[in-house]
Amino acid sequence: MAKKRALSPIRLGVNVDHVATLRQARGTPYPDPVEAALSAAAAGAASITVHLREDRRHIQDHDVQRLLAVSPVPVNLEMAVTSEMVAIACKLKPAYACLVPERREEVTTEGGLDVAGNRDAVRAACARLSQAGIAVALFIDADPRQLKAARDCGAPHLEIHTGRYADTRGKTQAAELARIAQFARRAQRAGFEVHAGHGLNLDNVAPMARIAEIVELNIGHSIVADALAVGMPAAVARMRRAMQEARGA
Ligand SMILES: CC(=O)[C@@H](O)[C@H](O)COP(=O)(O)O
Ligand SMILES: NCC(=O)COP(=O)(O)O
């Protein structure tokens, strides 16, 4: 039997937005997303993601400040391409910023950033963030048109939106996986470090983790949900194990 090739290790970034969602539902001081982030980092999360939404529905400005003060791992600030968010990021200086689309009415991020349609604004935001020493990622769909536009923007990283893969099944899901794998190869060849995320969970993570060019997966909702049953350290450990096993590591 042919032996499976072991791929390079893959990093898990943990998004703690939904710890804050629970807190904001009642306006209590608990649960604390920063405490959850410390627990995730201690269990092997390579980075912590928070999405500071314009409507502040979950993570708050003070959470980001506290997180940056204590996090032992790099913080990845997801943000819309607005002057308010760029100013906040430049002031707080997280290690990473990921530019994402945002729509007030959405329940969660519904697709990738339209870099091709907003090239000047994205390029300007990338320039300001890079000048502040922040490594920028563009959160985009696996669409060659977006890749072409991203090449003009000066961001070193791309995060592929995996929401459609996560939300579909059968042939549609297989086609989406193939599209993402092909896109990841092209993106890496174009010089980007390739990440992926959105809607990933223990049931669907393995095929995504097997894509050699993807070096980081950012996962939040399913890990926070799992943590309710088994605790954050075990939830992170389970996800890391699933990713490393898929990788053959
Ligand atoms: C950009 C992305 O795919 C997710 O991280 C999403 O932005 C999480 O934000 P919500 O927790 O508000 O859905
Ligand atoms: N960028 C994706 C992310 O941070 C986590 O998304 P989700 O797992 O909460 O859907």
Q: What are the tens digits of pLDDT across the range 18-33?
A: 999 999 999 999 999 9
Q: How many angstroms is it from 50 CA to the middle of ligand 1?
A: 8
Inter-CA distances, 65 with 25, 51, 55, 80, 189, Å? 21, 13, 17, 18, 36
Pairing assessment for the beta strands 193-197 and 157-161 based on DSSP bridges? parallel
What is the three-class DSSP state of 138? strand
Residue 51 a catalytic site member: yes
Q: Tell me the pLDDT of the chain (249 aa) as tens digits.
A: 555 667 889 999 999 999 999 999 999 999 999 999 999 999 999 999 999 999 999 999 999 999 999 999 999 999 999 999 999 999 999 999 999 999 988 888 889 999 999 999 999 999 999 999 999 999 999 999 999 999 999 999 999 999 999 999 999 999 999 999 999 999 999 999 999 999 999 999 999 999 999 999 999 999 999 999 999 999 999 999 999 999 997
What 8-state DSSP symbol labels residue 125?
A: H
C-beta of 221 in contact with ligand 2 (< 6 A): yes
Query: Is residue 14 in contact with ligand 2, taking CB distance under 6 Å?
Result: no
**CB of 33 shorter than 6 A to ligand 2:** no
Give the pLDDT score at 5.
Answer: 67
Contacts 24+ apart (CB under 8 A), 2-5: 4/248, 5/248
Listed in sequence order, the residues at least 6 apart from 234 whose beta carbon sits closer than 8 Å to its beta carbon are 43, 226, 227
Is the CB of residue 197 below 6 angstroms from any atom belonging to ligand 2? yes
Ligand 2 mean position, distance from CA 231 (Å): 19
Domain 30-247, second-level architecture: Alpha-Beta Barrel (3.20)
The pTM score is 0.96
Query: Which ligand is in closest contact with the Cα of 108?
Result: 1
Distance of CA 197 from the midpoint of ligand 2 (Å): 5
Centre of ligand 1 to C-alpha 16, Å, is 10
CA distance 146 to 122: 12
**How far apart, in whole angstroms, are the C-alpha atoms of residue 138 and residue 92?**
19
Given ligand 1 and candidates 109, 180, 216, which is best to mutate, with the most ligand atoms within 8 Å of its CB? 109
The ligand placed nearest to the CA atom of residue 104 is 1
Atom of ligand 1 minimally distant from the CA of 57? 12
